Amino acid sequence: MELKDIKAVYFVGAGGIGMSAIARYFLKKGLVVAGYDKTPSTLTRQLEKEGMLIHYEEDINQIPHACKQSQSCLVIYTPAIPQEHQELCFFRENGFEIQKRAQVLGTLTRQHKGLCVAGTHGKTTTSTMCAHIMHQSHLDCNAFLGGISKNYGTNYILSDSDFVVIEADEFDRSFHWLSPFMTVITSTDPDHLDIYGTKEAYLESFRHYTELIQPQGALIIHRGLEMKENLPEGVRRYDYALNEGDFHADNIRIENGEITFDFISPVESVKNVRLGQPIPINIENAIAAMAMAQLAGCTAEELRYGIQTYRGVDRRFDFKIKNDKLVFLSDYAHHPKEIYQSAKSIKELYKNRKITAIFQPHLYTRTRDFYKDFADALSQLDEVILTEIYPAREQPIPGVTSQLIYDNLRPGIEKQIIRKDEVLELLKQRTFDVLIVLGAGDLDNQVPQMTQILNSKL
């Protein structure tokens, strides 16, 4: 079904953050947008205010008339919805076009010029940076992001631009639905081995992704990755890294909490770029984002202004308290390489202060596969407090607990394991110098209460 043929869109599972961005895209296009979700939330209530029709019981009779026309209604579902769901069965049995979120994003990359960012880590920050640069430039863009941009308070940007910035997710091979005009690949450290099975299959998935780039497009790949791309004829190839590559940084200055560098580019170099979110790991992310925006047509001044005014992403190196007495932040890092980079950055920023991490491991399979790497990454810090594993979609695996990480931390490091429900009490009893909460689970839900507790003691 072509976008021009769609008159209504129905969401089976409307309340997810990724689904809501697509719902808003179609609302802006003036279509009938409706859907089902299991429970009301702040997000679904906001969507209702914006014009989406949502109900909260499995009930075919509550599906609007416009969404019962198979020739003009697109159905979008989340895999979290059971296949036997009454409404999903109705659409399946009546010949509706039914797509996953990733398929819809793929359609958008064929209708627009898709600027995509893939990689094991760094993709949310890099895509959000690129979207901000593009949105405040003369080109503008649409964007569907994997986190809440602090500049916009949302995970989407909608405009009449021909460009769309998309975070290309490798989980479940979702990014194979895309047809990028240009793409950045930030990293290919193996992850999601519960899906892929082997490192080789993971790398092959990225190789196939590069085959999907449109002719006359471009690949911007981090130098030194293990994967081997396979580019269609006519696709330009560039590489980047911190200090080398077609795109890189020079004259890096880190002082008084500010980071400034020169952006070196084969198109046009840009001097004195100041990071709006001054974190060392963001230098490379900025290089990749600026490279793609520049190749799309942004000017040197638009690149400089975009990076200077970038404010970050919720849960990505997200400072909650920052003063001489205490620094407290949360970070979504949940892969060993992410934690390594996060720990490295915070050590560079706070060289002479004691750094404590509270880490909630994410997934039994990931802990089983990488517990030694987690321990090595966390061992850069002065103190590590572990909680139980967040299971997400998984069942427990015998013998796989946080103890595996604990036992492999470097000798001499301060360490303990506590339950997640003991964290707030620990913060009431202890004092900290620099404290970071790490992980992609639900411990982050307690960060507002943690902030309140820590602030009350200052």
Q: Is the pLDDT of residue 238 over 70?
A: yes
User: Mind listing the pLDDT tens digit for each residue in 395-442?
Assistant: 999 999 999 999 999 999 999 999 999 999 999 999 999 999 999 888
pLDDT of 172 reads: 77
Distance of CA 423 to the CA centre of its chain: 26
For residues 281 and 345, the answer to whether their CB atoms sit within 8 Å is: yes
For residues 173 and 147, the answer to whether their CB atoms sit within 8 Å is: no
What is the rounded end-to-end Cα distance, in angstroms, of the chain? 58
pLDDT of 193 reads: 66
User: Mind listing the pLDDT tens digit for each residue in 293-352?
Assistant: 999 999 999 999 999 999 998 878 888 998 889 999 999 888 898 899 899 989 888 888
CA 67, 69, 75, 80: dihedral to nearest 10 degrees? 70
Q: Is the pLDDT of residue 235 over 80?
A: yes
Q: Is the pLDDT of residue 171 over 90?
A: no
At 192, is the pLDDT very low, low, confident or very high (cuts 50, 70, 90)? low
Q: CA-to-CA distance for 48 and 54, rounded, in angstroms?
A: 7
pLDDT of 177 reads: 93
This prediction has a pTM of: 0.79
Residue 38 CB neighbour total at 10 angstroms: 14
Q: What is the token pair recorded at 190?
A: 């193996």
Q: Is the pLDDT of residue 194 over 80?
A: no
Average pLDDT over residues 213-222: 97
Which residue is listed with tokens 């859907």?
A: 35
Q: Is the pLDDT of residue 215 over 90?
A: yes
Average pLDDT over residues 48-69: 96
For residues 203 and 316, the answer to whether their CB atoms sit within 8 Å is: no
pLDDT of 20 reads: 87
Q: CA-to-CA distance for 436 and 331, rounded, in angstroms?
A: 7
User: Mind listing the pLDDT tens digit for each residue in 105-161?
Assistant: 998 898 899 999 999 888 999 999 999 999 999 999 999 988 889 999 888 898 989
User: Cβ neighbours of residue 237 under 8 Å, at least 6 residues apart?
Assistant: 218, 219, 221, 229, 231
For residues 409 and 371, the answer to whether their CB atoms sit within 8 Å is: no
> Which domains are seen in the chain, by residue range?
3-99 (3.40.50.720), 112-308 (3.40.1190.10), 318-456 (3.90.190.20)
Provide the β-strand partners of residue 316.
313
Query: What's the burial of 412, exposed, middle or buried (CB within 10 Å: 0-12/13-18/19+)?
Result: exposed
pLDDT of 287 reads: 98
pLDDT of 447 reads: 94
At 11, is the pLDDT very low, low, confident or very high (cuts 50, 70, 90)? very high
Q: What is the token pair recorded at 375?
A: 């321990």
Which residue is listed with tokens 């091979």?
A: 173
Average pLDDT over residues 210-215: 97
Residue 347 CB neighbour total at 10 angstroms: 16
What letters, b where the CB count within 10 A reaches 16 and e where it falls short, cover 258-292? ebbbbbbbeeeebeebebbbbbbbbbbbbbbbbbb
Q: CA-to-CA distance for 149 and 320, rounded, in angstroms?
A: 16
pLDDT of 2 reads: 74
